[in-house]
Structure 1
Amino acid sequence: MNAYLLVRSFGIDSPVAYERAQCTRLLHALHPSNVVFYAQAPQTSDGNEAYSYAAGESEYAHAAGVNAVTIDKFEGRYLLSGGADSSIAIWDLENSLDETDSAYVPIGSVNRTSNEYKFGITQLCFYPFDSLAFLSSSYDHTVKIYSSETLKPSASFDLDSVVYTIALSPIASHLLVACATQHPAVRLVDLRSGASTHSLAGHTGAVLSVAWSPVHEHILASGSADGTVRFWDIRRSVGEIGALDMEDSVGILGHDGFGGGARHRDHGKAHSAIVNGITWTEDGQHLVTTGHDERIRVWDTWTGANTLASFGPLIRNSHLSSVTPLLAPSNLVSSTKDVMFYPNESDILMYELFEGTLIKKLKRPAHQSNSSSTNPALGQRNSRNRITGLTWRHNHIEFYSAHSDGSIGTWKPRTSEDARADEEEQENKDNADIEGEQSTKRKALEDIYQNLTKRQVTFGSSHESYR
């Protein structure tokens, strides 16, 4: 940092360069924060299907695992979480600590009843232009709109298929919700008319992931169980405008820049197995996809070319639920140095996006992830603690993770104060170990001395004793 301050003082670098260098340093210092945890308040049965938590369950955000998390993009203050038990909770990250200041408690929740969802939540997203409303999807085939203030549903759409993910365009004037369902067609729901407008047909397997372009309001990308990733222009009657091909590294421009050697865009597979994760970079120039072939691929969206970025052999991906990488905001890093966080089962892999270089592996302490507590209504808690989702907190350098054991993880930069606290804790632990070892040795010597002073010593042989 001193070098950056020096060149800044001479006017060689701009303030933006120093700011990004500082943000990158903090970004690389992210680690699990153990200051607070998320505790769902115990619920009482209301005569429907609501349940009461078992002893010890209050230390978890959701009783049967967290399937989805998201944070509003306006204030970066409100966090939504959806559970495998069909419950939904909203948390105020700035003002929802309990009396002990050690746990967040929800400012509102939707519990499992016969009037709400019957199965687990699959996706949550805030309304694109207003955090006072949000959408949720579920395994019970429905998509619902809720008020963030009352947590009451204002509309419900039954799609007759399991809904894996939903997406709203962050820039569009239209209010179309793209739905990835068990049906091989992408379903579009218009929030204005309250009806399913039309379907985008082309996939031959279930659609597991959808994502709107951040720069073109009518462009949509979808990933399917058939291994394909397709682009759609919802204004066209046909809809599909092309598919990605993992064998294509030159794109539509070809070897010579005029289409020489370019492959057909109407077929080809992006992955050799199920595709269950799609996300765009902020500038819309690249698309990141994940699949059951345990590969992460980065695509040039202008040409459709595979950039051939390689992320090594550590990638794990074997679930039908969405496994979507999280991209850090581009204003935190230097150009072409985008950072990606990948939920790799029980840990998080931090990569440089375009080079595929592993920066670090993030993992919560083992004592936080192992739990054998149970809920009478839901059975054994998931002890594998798989990470099911990631979300960035806007206007901050921190992100949050959803875990299948029912907890929510917080990841913040490790400051110098944290380092000193860890050093003091380790020093106290070492001193305690030394004192314990010395105490054990003193006790052993004392026992030997006591045995020697109490024992009567005689001298003699088997025939005669000497006194």
Structure 2
Amino acid sequence: MNKGTRPDQFFETDDAAAKRERREAKAGNKNGSPIALKSKILGAIADPSNSTSILVAESSGSVRRVNVETGDTKQVYRGPSAPVTCVAVGGPGNQTVFAGSWDKDIWSWNAASKAVGRKYSGHSDFVKAIVCTKLGGKDILISGGADKKIMAWDVESGSRLHVIQDQVGSMMAIQDLALDPESSTADELVLASASSDPHIRRWRIRLDSVEQIVEDAPEAPGTTRPTILEHETTVYKLAFDIHNDDIDLWTASGDGTAKCLSRTKGFTTDDIIKHGDHVRAVAFTEQWLVTAGRDEDVKVWDRATGKLYCALEGHYDEVTDLVTLANSPVAGTKLVSVSIDGTVRVWALDKSALDKFIQEQQDKADGVEKSTVEKAPEGLMTAEEEDELAALMDED
């Protein structure tokens, strides 16, 4: 007897069946000119060596370079036998690709030859986030794991400089790390970390020391605030807004919101975007703020008004990351979205392109509605006819 492998061959709840059927029906859409990969995509960054490419972290255990202009996906960095969750580029001359993995290690490759380099081992659980930078003239790698620890590494020697843990609270699994470009210097880094709890923590890191930043609480003069608490649950993403003079901090959370935390107001909430479901990623240009997450839509918000301008429908599973390619030779700024559905999708962010997408979606909806009306079964009334009849009966 053959064993079934499809979900619909096993017991399913009505909700699960409806969700599966909806995704199967949606999977064939071509919105965003999808580039299909064979595994789930868990993270992405812009490729510093090519303005039309991104590097993606795949659940198959590899990092892949995807050229969003040509669709080429052949350059792959292999090694881990477990899913890769995050990717970064750094080291001397920005010639090293790094990836954090479920196998608890941080892998590295020569960016040009794809040869496997050093492995950085120390975490006792999944590595969830990595960033590359320089400190005191050294190339530094900083990693965060599900083991609730942040580690700073000397890239060249492979030695671990610091193991960072919350000394004033109960930090949970690290979700994201972001370097503060406004407060960091050549000899001192200011790092923000997000975790599975709602708290955002800030750290001051030097080659010989590290400390958690504890500041006066803006809302309660005379008291201190060891963490930034502006969300109700997990914070998935942190991004400093270089398009803003103050370089404020934007966050994406499982509470369904993205928030702008104002630097001048002590990183308290200055603006709220209500996406409506778990927000996994946030990106921005001078004109737009973009959010995406579990509800599959990529939502574009007008920064001037704070209102939703356009919902880019295309993905059929959770969107895990967003990347803007501002220097793309292709006309205008491009937004790249990646998803658990295994597709990379590219969206133009100029207003005319967004307006065209809105109109196309409206025309499609109108076409479906018109088709439904025209194909009403013989002898039965359409919805419009039923309304007319009800109005006549009311008049009688």
Partner of 1:155: 118
The answer as to whether partners of 1:227 and 1:273 remain within 8 angstroms in 2 is: yes
Shift of residue 126, structure 1, vs aligned partner: 2.2
Q: Distance in 2 between matches of 1:227 and 1:416?
A: 36
Q: Distance in 2 between matches of 1:417 and 1:176?
A: 40
Shift of residue 401, structure 1, vs aligned partner: 0.8
Q: Distance in 1 between matches of 2:61 and 2:353?
A: 40
Instruction: Find the partner of 1:275 among 208, 214, 235.
Output: 235
Name the one with the larger strand percent: 2
The answer to whether 1:118 aligns with 2:81 is yes
Shift of residue 241, structure 1, vs aligned partner: 1.4
Matches within 5 A, 1:200-219: 200-202=164-166, 204=170, 205-215=172-182, 216-217=184-185, 218-219=189-190
User: Which structure has the greater CA radius of gyration?
Assistant: 1
Partner of 1:56: none
The answer to whether 1:317 aligns with 2:306 is no
Partner SS for 1:307: strand
Partner SS for 2:272: coil
The answer as to whether partners of 1:341 and 1:349 remain within 8 angstroms in 2 is: yes
Shift of residue 356, structure 1, vs aligned partner: 7.3
* Cα shift readout 1:280-303 (whole Å, capped 9, x = no counterpart): 111563112233333333222355
Q: Distance in 2 between matches of 1:415 and 1:129?
A: 41
Partner of 2:153: 189
Partner of 1:227: 198
The answer as to whether partners of 2:241 and 2:249 remain within 8 angstroms in 1 is: yes
Instruction: Find the partner of 2:47 among 42, 47, 72.
Output: 72
Shift of residue 242, structure 1, vs aligned partner: 2.3
Q: Distance in 2 between matches of 1:415 and 1:352?
A: 14
Shift of residue 93, structure 1, vs aligned partner: 4.1
Flag structure 2 segments of 5+ consecutive residues without an equivalent.
1-28, 379-396
Partner of 2:22: none
The answer as to whether partners of 1:315 and 1:344 remain within 8 angstroms in 2 is: no
Shift of residue 270, structure 1, vs aligned partner: 3.5
Partner of 1:135: 98
Partner of 1:389: 321
TM-score by length of 1: 0.60
Given the superposition, is the C-alpha separation of residues 286 and 172 from structure 1 closer, same or farther in structure 2, using an over 3 Å criterion?
A: farther
Instruction: Find the partner of 1:410 among 343, 346, 365.
Output: 346
Q: Which has the higher contact order (CA 8 A, sep 6+)?
A: 1
Instruction: Find the partner of 1:106 among 73, 79, 85.
Output: 73
Partner of 2:284: 327
> Residue type matched to 2:129 in 1?
T
> Residue type matched to 2:193 in 1?
S
Shift of residue 219, structure 1, vs aligned partner: 0.8
* Cα shift readout 1:77-117 (whole Å, capped 9, x = no counterpart): 332122112132213345x4xxxxxxx23241245xxxx21
Partner of 1:380: none
The answer as to whether partners of 1:231 and 1:243 remain within 8 angstroms in 2 is: no
Flag structure 1 segments of 5+ consecutive residues without an equivalent.
1-31, 39-59, 97-103, 255-260, 334-338, 371-384, 442-467
Partner SS for 1:309: strand
Shift of residue 170, structure 1, vs aligned partner: 7.9
Q: Distance in 2 between matches of 1:394 and 1:211?
A: 20
TM-score by length of 2: 0.70
Shift of residue 390, structure 1, vs aligned partner: 0.7
Q: Distance in 1 between matches of 2:92 and 2:311?
A: 33
The answer to whether 1:175 aligns with 2:139 is yes
Q: Distance in 2 between matches of 1:280 and 1:243?
A: 19
**Aligned alpha-carbon RMSD (Å):** 3.6
Shift of residue 416, structure 1, vs aligned partner: 7.5
The answer as to whether partners of 2:232 and 2:255 remain within 8 angstroms in 1 is: yes
Partner of 2:256: 294
Given the superposition, is the C-alpha separation of residues 391 and 226 from structure 1 closer, same or farther in structure 2, using an over 3 Å criterion?
A: same
Q: Distance in 1 between matches of 2:354 and 2:261?
A: 40
Identity of aligned residues (%): 15
> Residue type matched to 2:260 in 1?
V
The answer as to whether partners of 1:402 and 1:408 remain within 8 angstroms in 2 is: yes
> Residue type matched to 1:348 in 2?
V
Q: Distance in 2 between matches of 1:416 and 1:206?
A: 39
* Cα shift readout 1:45-70 (whole Å, capped 9, x = no counterpart): xxxxxxxxxxxxxxx22x22111222
Given the superposition, is the C-alpha separation of residues 344 and 224 from structure 1 closer, same or farther in structure 2, using an over 3 Å criterion?
A: closer
Partner of 1:53: none
Shift of residue 186, structure 1, vs aligned partner: 1.5
Q: Distance in 1 between matches of 2:158 and 2:134?
A: 19
Partner of 1:342: 291
Given the superposition, is the C-alpha separation of residues 36 and 348 from structure 1 closer, same or farther in structure 2, using an over 3 Å criterion?
A: closer
Partner SS for 2:327: coil
Partner of 2:306: 357
Q: Distance in 2 between matches of 1:170 and 1:351?
A: 34
Instruction: Find the partner of 2:109 among 133, 139, 146.
Output: 146
Q: Distance in 1 between matches of 2:277 and 2:150?
A: 26
The answer as to whether partners of 2:310 and 2:354 remain within 8 angstroms in 1 is: no
Partner SS for 2:129: strand
